Amino acid sequence: MQELPNPSLYQRNLLIDDKFKVKEAEKLLSWFKDEVDFQMNIFLDKKIEEAREISEEATILVDEVKRFVFAGGKRVRPAFLYSGYIAAGGKAHAAVTLASLCVEFLHTFALIHDDIIDRSDTRRGKPTSHKAFENIHKSKKYLGDREHFGLSSAILAGDLAFTFAEEILTSSPFPQERLRRARYFFDQMKFQVITGEYLDVLGSYKKRLTEEEVLNILEYKTAKYTVERPLQIGAMLAGAEVAILESFTAYGIPLGQAFQLQDDILGIFGDAEKIGKPVGADIREGKKTVLIAKTYEWASKKEEQLLDRVVGNWAATDKDLSRVKEIIYSVGAYGYAIKLSHRLIDQAKTAIDKDKYVGEGKEYLLVAADYLLNRIS
Amino acid sequence: MQELPNPSLYQRNLLIDDKFKVKEAEKLLSWFKDEVDFQMNIFLDKKIEEAREISEEATILVDEVKRFVFAGGKRVRPAFLYSGYIAAGGKAHAAVTLASLCVEFLHTFALIHDDIIDRSDTRRGKPTSHKAFENIHKSKKYLGDREHFGLSSAILAGDLAFTFAEEILTSSPFPQERLRRARYFFDQMKFQVITGEYLDVLGSYKKRLTEEEVLNILEYKTAKYTVERPLQIGAMLAGAEVAILESFTAYGIPLGQAFQLQDDILGIFGDAEKIGKPVGADIREGKKTVLIAKTYEWASKKEEQLLDRVVGNWAATDKDLSRVKEIIYSVGAYGYAIKLSHRLIDQAKTAIDKDKYVGEGKEYLLVAADYLLNRIS
């Protein structure tokens, strides 16, 4: 059997670049992550007390949002919001840290609902929200359909996280006009992630998507959502001119797409422990990726038959998965995805180089990009 | 068999009161409803065009929100927001009409998710959102699990309506400081309706709730949500002092509870066509109401056994349902609920009488109360 590429090697090749200050990034963003977590903890404890005023049992719903939030995550979206704020000349570090929780709570909401839609039982090695509520149903000996209780409660836990995202903005100590402009981009972000997720759902009920369709979903569901919108919200909170937004788009969209490509490659070629889900889950689930779209495009008739049998088939064997991986590699889709992600990263870097940012703006954006691309889970 | 009370008689008794100007209410609020619908239509058509920029298929999700919104509803919550605005001295009719859509879109969100949780197939005689998406799955010949497609898409349609509620406020032409204060109450409204719904979910997985527990759920899920919060949001948009809020609470909470009591009575004794769901559905579903809590409290051992067998049992026969209705009546729970709702309405009226409102404020509040209590679906 042909030797398959080693994804850790891939990572190293892709990421070691003397412009990217890996150590500094990790230090800076791990400090920022701690700050975000600290604020999030205070906020959620306050909400638990508010729930207790309604009823002791109502606290369970907020408890679950808290458990989910602290089960993992690198706070990538707050980091971009923060970087956008600094790059646009903002100085109020404490205020923007608090405001940055809005994109993290939005992400919490999106993940909880996504997990229901994808029928995932675990995320980052821990139970998803609907599974956690099934466990509560069991331990509290509630009556009735356990699975439906898990589903119902998780829908509401997601809704609650959505509400928290808004409350954070309402109580952010920024001039109202800046908040109004930030909200415009936040509203866009929400609209696009929800419609993007819907396209993703539609995609999973279709046999195949073209590369163009996949890239369109990525643009809305990942690139705008993870990078561009958080940067823009940060810039608006700093009172920036609209001109800076174009450069954020030129940087954010390719970076976000590169990130998703990397995630898709790791989802198939990465190791289970690092990516936090079983090897081959993406293939068995039939996840629509550029990698799979290109593989179909370039596969022979015989290979296509094999793909049809294995992709999206939960009963596929490990041997089947290995053969699909070999095809992805041999038809050139793997190399194509690597090259495309390199090109997108170069594009993002060029966009930063071209523009003049205030103070340490440029460095923050480079560092945030590196942080994103080092992200595993 | 004992003759059961006629709910239309009950309605007439409860509502004919010379202080309540029924005709005027209907005229005024039907005009307002048309205005709200007109604005909602413009807003949703704009969102459909925005979705089209993402992809033609993304429009389907917005189309469904639009279908759902126009499938029915009397725009009761916008009417209270409007009344609160007028009662607090507001003059910008067009601006507040637009802003009032926020509570209607929030309600759309809540209903779409509730229907999933309650596994309802129809609302107001038309398909619920998850059912509508199942029909789309069928007509477009999508692959895979039809029911899960319906569920997934409806979760997202609800999420989208939630986003629209926020966007409306962001774009409302009010001074930013008023909007910030209005948002505070809007955030409270969201937090409380979601935790209230969670308590309702919990309740449905338990055998029984006490009257106190039921009233607590009603306070959060219905009274604050339907009446108090919309009034408060309206008042804040008018730039009102905080003092007016107390009187809104004194009026809004009992009125909202009376409304829910009436809804529960009609849910058991009303006729199917008017209430828009099958007769006895509330009993078969095991809906936790004051009526049922009181019936359990006052039932004999033998009656209790019958209740245990029928309440919450989807397989209960029509004869079983008739016997349960008789018990509700004979133990005095029916009379108790009627009296309680009368007392609550008196309490609400007294609260308005005591306070001095600007201009036509008082009349608007009386009229809105009547509109609410005449609400059937």
Contact B142 A50 (CB under 8 A): no
Decide if A143 and B116 are in contact by the 8 Å CB cutoff. no
Closest C-alpha to A278, from A116, A124, A115, A70 = A124
Q: Which residue of B has its CA nearest to A218?
A: B54
Query: Per the CB < 8 Å rule, is A116 touching B152?
Result: yes
A152 contacts B202 by C-beta, under 8 angstroms: no
Contact: B117, A47; criterion CB under 8 Å: no
Q: What is the pLDDT of residues B67-90, one digit of tens each?
A: 999 998 889 899 999 989 988 889
Closest chain A residue to B197, measured at CA: A156
Check A55 against B179: CB less than 8 A apart. Answer: no
| Domain presence at residue A325 | yes
Domain span holding position A92: 7-368
Is the C-alpha dihedral spanning B192, B172, A86, B54 positive or negative?
Answer: positive
Q: What is the pLDDT of residue B2?
A: 45
Interface test with A, best of B106, B199, B205 (most A CBs within 10 A): B205
Give chain B's domain count: 1
Picking from B54, B113, B189 by the largest number of A CB atoms within 10 A of its own CB, the best residue to mutate is B54
How remote is the C-alpha of B232 from its chain's centroid? 17
Q: Do B113 and A156 touch (CB under 8 A)?
A: yes
Contact A194 B149 (CB under 8 A): no
CB atoms within 10 A of CB B20: 18
B17 falls in which pLDDT band (50, 70, 90)?
Answer: very low
- Asked if A127 contacts A279 with a C-beta cutoff of 8 angstroms, the reply is no
Extract the residue ranges of chain A whose pLDDT is less than 70.
1-26, 272-278, 354-361, 374-377
In a domain, A348, yes or no: yes
- Inter-chain CB proximity B160 and A194 less than 8 Å: yes
Q: Do B205 and A144 touch (CB under 8 A)?
A: yes
Q: Which residues of B touch A161 (CB under 8 A)?
A: none
**In angstroms, rounded to a whole number, what is the distance separating the alpha carbons of residues A28 and A23?**
9
- Is A242 a domain residue? yes
Q: Label residue B9 by pLDDT band (50, 70, 90).
A: very low
Kindly determine whether residue A166 and residue B187, on different chains, have CB atoms separated by under 8 Å: yes
DSSP one-letter code for A56 = G
Contacts of A205 in chain B (CB under 8 A): 137, 142-144, 149
Specify the pLDDT at position A18: 40
Q: Using CB atoms, pick whichever of B137, B156, B199 lies closest to residue A194.
A: B156
Residue B45 falls inside a structural domain: yes
pLDDT tens-digit map of B101-153: 999 999 999 999 999 998 989 988 899 999 999 999 999 998 889 999 999 99
Distances (CA, A) of B278 to A94, A212, B192, B261, B333: 55, 47, 29, 18, 22
- CA within 13 Å, CB half, A370: 23
How many other CB atoms are found less than 10 A from the CB of residue B258?
26
Query: Which sign does the torsion angle of CA B14, B20, B25, B27 carry?
Result: positive
What per-residue confidence (pLDDT) applies to B203? 85
- A337, two tokens: 């995805």
Task: Provide the pLDDT for residue B277.
Answer: 67
Percentages of chain B per state (helix, strand, coil), in multiples of 5 = 75, 0, 25
- Model confidence at B273, in pLDDT bands (50, 70, 90)? low
Q: Which of A49, A129, A163 to mutate to test the interface with B (most CBs of B within 10 A)?
A: A163
Phi, psi of B92 (to 5 degrees): -85, 80
Examine the pLDDT at B37 and tell me if it is beyond 90. Answer: yes
Residue A31, both tokens: 């400090």
State the DSSP H helix or E strand holding residue B220, giving kind and residue range, or none if neither: none
pLDDT of residue B259: 87
CA pair distance B233, B168, nearest whole angstrom: 13
Nearest-by-Cβ selection for B57 from A60, A170, A199: A199
- pTM summary value: 0.88
Cβ-defined contact of B195 to A167 (cutoff 8 Å): no
Q: How far is A134 from chain B (nearest CA, A)?
A: 12
Nearest CB to A194 within list B116, B163, B201: B163
Contacting residues of B for A163, CB less than 8 Å apart: 187, 190-191, 194
Q: Give, as one character, the DSSP assignment of residue B225.
A: I
Average pLDDT on B217-246 reads 88
Does the pLDDT of residue B370 top 80, yes or no? no
State the Cα–Cα distance between residues A356 and A255, nearest whole angstrom. Answer: 19
Residue B7: pLDDT over 90: no
- Asked if B198's CB is within 8 angstroms of A156's CB, the reply is yes
Residue A358 DSSP label: S
Q: Which amino acid, one-letter code, is at A290?
A: V
Cβ-defined contact of B156 to A205 (cutoff 8 Å) = no
Q: What is the pLDDT of residue B374?
A: 66
Kindly state the average pLDDT of the residues B246-262.
Answer: 89
CATH code for the domain in which residue B314 is found: 1.10.600.10
- What's at B273, amino acid-wise? E
Segment holding A126, helix H or strand E: strand A126-127
Residue of A55, A116, A177 lying closest to B199 (CB–CB)? A55
Residue B272 scores a pLDDT above 70: no
- Of the partner residues A148, A163, A206, the one whose CB lies closest to the CB of residue B191: A163
Residue A374 in domain: no
Q: Calculate the average pLDDT of chain B.
A: 85
Higher pLDDT, B376 or A325: A325
- B6 pLDDT above the threshold of 70: no
- Determine which helix (DSSP H) or strand (DSSP E) holds A271, and give its type and residue range: none
Q: CB–CB of A143 and B117 under 8 A?
A: no
Q: d(Cα A104, Cα A186) in Å, to the nearest integer?
A: 12
> In whole angstroms, what is the distance from residue B142 CA to residue B70 CA?
26
Query: Can you give the pLDDT at residue B275?
Result: 61
| A373 within domain boundaries | no
Q: What is the pLDDT of residues B145-195, one digit of tens each?
A: 999 999 999 999 999 999 999 999 988 999 999 999 999 999 999 999 999
CA distance B198 to chain A (A): 7
Are the CB atoms for B156 and B133 separated by under 8 Å? no
Whether B141 and B134 have beta carbons less than 8 Å apart is answered as no
Q: What average pLDDT score do residues B221-236 get? A: 91
A172 C-beta neighbours (distance < 10 Å), count: 19
Q: Which residue of A has its CA nearest to B47?
A: A191
Q: Is residue B70 part of a domain?
A: yes
pLDDT of the residue at A24: 62
Residue B377 lies in a domain: no
How far does the CA of residue A193 sit from the closest CA of chain B (Å)? 10
d(CA A248, CA B70): 39
ipTM of the modeled complex: 0.87
